[in-house]
Every structure is written in C-alpha cells, then in structure tokens.
Structure 1
Amino acid sequence: MSTLIKILIGIVLSSASEKFEAGYQIIQQEKTLEQSIEDGQWIYEDFCSRCHLPSGKGVSGVYPPLAKSDWLDDKVDESILAIKYGLKGEIEVNGNVYNNAMTAQGLSDEEVADVMNYIMNSWGNTQDEMITVKKVKSIEKD
C-alpha cells in the first residue's frame, strides 16, 4: 500500500473518531432531567445511601444530611467537587458542624451529574437548573 493511501486512511479514521466522540457527548447532554434523576437514584442507592441513608437524612454529627440541605443548595460546585474528589475537613450543614472524610466514589462525570440531579430533587430539595455532564466536567480540583 502506498504511503499516500496510508496517510489518507489515517486522516479518515481520525476524523471519524472525532465525530464519534463529539456525537457521544451530544447524546450524553440530551438526557432529560427525569431520566437523569432516575439514573441518579440507582447511583445514590449503590454509593451514597450507606452513609447519607435512603432518606437522605444522614447521621447526626457524622454524615451530613442531603435532605433539605442548605450546604447543597448554597454550594453546588463544592458538592460536585466532593462527589468527584472526596471531601475532608469541617463543613456546616443546616447549622450543624460535620468534620468527617468522604472518599471519592470513582464515578464518571455523567454519574456525578445524575446523582446530583437526584439528590437535588429528592427529600424536599428542588433545583432551578439541571446539572449537566458539561457542568461537572468544568469543575476541577485546584
């Protein structure tokens, strides 16, 4: 096979790969809020409910509540960071201080978005704006 043909095949395959990746990202962004919440419930049950409980109420003095959480409402970016990278140190939630460690759960950006949408629309929480994969990707640890 000539070098020119090999180069052309390489260009075509590279272009097709980029288009596939771009199309995949578009598919991820087209998930409805309702579907994201449904998917997030499964993730919450698998990764979060052991500490924060199925009710989202947490454990007083140990694991902060997610239900009706002022920290969750006021600190959306920090909440995303905590899920992506874990959390250490003191935080105040609904007037109570918590100082425990939360390990990173190893979730994908899509899973983080889904679980955020679930917790932000459960147990009396309501959100104004859907958390998207793009939003989660944009939030990085300093």
Structure 2
Amino acid sequence: MSNTNQKSPLKESIERGNEIYTDFCVSCHLPNGQGVRKTYPPLANSDYLIKKQEASIKAIKYGLSGSILVNGETYNNVMTPMGLDDQEIADVMNYINNSWGNKNDKMVTKLQVSKVKK
C-alpha cells in the first residue's frame, strides 16, 4: 500500500527552493516574483524564464550581466553569482518554475545544472 502523504521529488525540491529563494533572491525579485521594473526582471509569468531555462540556470550559477529582454522590457543590470551548489540551483529553479502563475512539471535536476557551463 502506498503512502498518500509521501511528497513527490518535485514537490520536495520546490519546498527547498522556497527557502533558498527567501534567503538569496527575494530582496531583488521580491516575495511575489514581480521584480523591480527596469531594474530587476520579473520571474512571475516571465517569458525569459519559460523560454530560456538553461540561460536562467546559468544566471543563478554564474551571475549575469548585460542586456536581456523579459516580457518586452529591457533589463541591463548585474546579477552576482549566488554561490549556490548545483542541487540548490535546481531546487530554486523548481520553485521559481512553479510559483506566481508559472507552471512547469519538468523537474530541473542537479545533473542538468551540473552540465550548464559558463
């Protein structure tokens, strides 16, 4: 008999990612994932996040500088590397991918993150 209270690996990853988001991401991207217009791009309903998963992982892993286009707005700021390990990056990606109207059942894994190079 299976335990119906058992959480899926994705759900567990999202829960861990929520804590990481709160510790590392919330000050710029805000609790609602809306970011700050013209300064910090939104993660909520973000076309960039949806279409550019690898680039999003790379930004968390190595930081990001230069111009990006998110939901028709140009953002040109610097995101410093967060110093997270591959599992933490996978967890926070899974949280972001499944929050504020974002829905992505395709789980980001530690192995997938480990393959993203600068």
Tell me if both proteins adopt one fold, taking TM over 0.5 as the criterion.
yes
Q: Which has the higher strand share?
A: 2
Provide, for residues 2-55 of structure 1, a one-character-per-residue CA deviation record: whole Å limited to 9, x for no partner. Answer: xxxxxxxxxxxxxxxxxxxxxxxxxxxxx7000000000000000000000000
Q: Which runs of 5+ in 2 are unaligned?
A: 1-7
Q: CA RMSD in A?
A: 0.8
Aligned to 1:96: 73
CA-CA distance at 1:128 after TM superposition: 3.6
Query: How do residues 1-142 of structure 1 correspond to structure 2 at under 5 angstroms?
Result: 32-141=9-118
TM-score by length of 1: 0.77
TM-score by length of 2: 0.93
Question: CA–CA distance in 2 between the matches of 1:59 and 1:38?
Answer: 24
Provide, for residues 81-135 of structure 1, a one-character-per-residue CA deviation record: whole Å limited to 9, x for no partner. Answer: 0000000000000000000000000000000000000000000001141000010
Q: Which has the higher helix share?
A: 1
Secondary structure at the counterpart of residue 101 of structure 1: strand
Question: CA–CA distance in 1 between the matches of 2:27 and 2:77?
Answer: 15
Structure scoring higher RCO (CA < 8 A, sep ≥ 6) equals: 2
Number of residue equivalences: 111
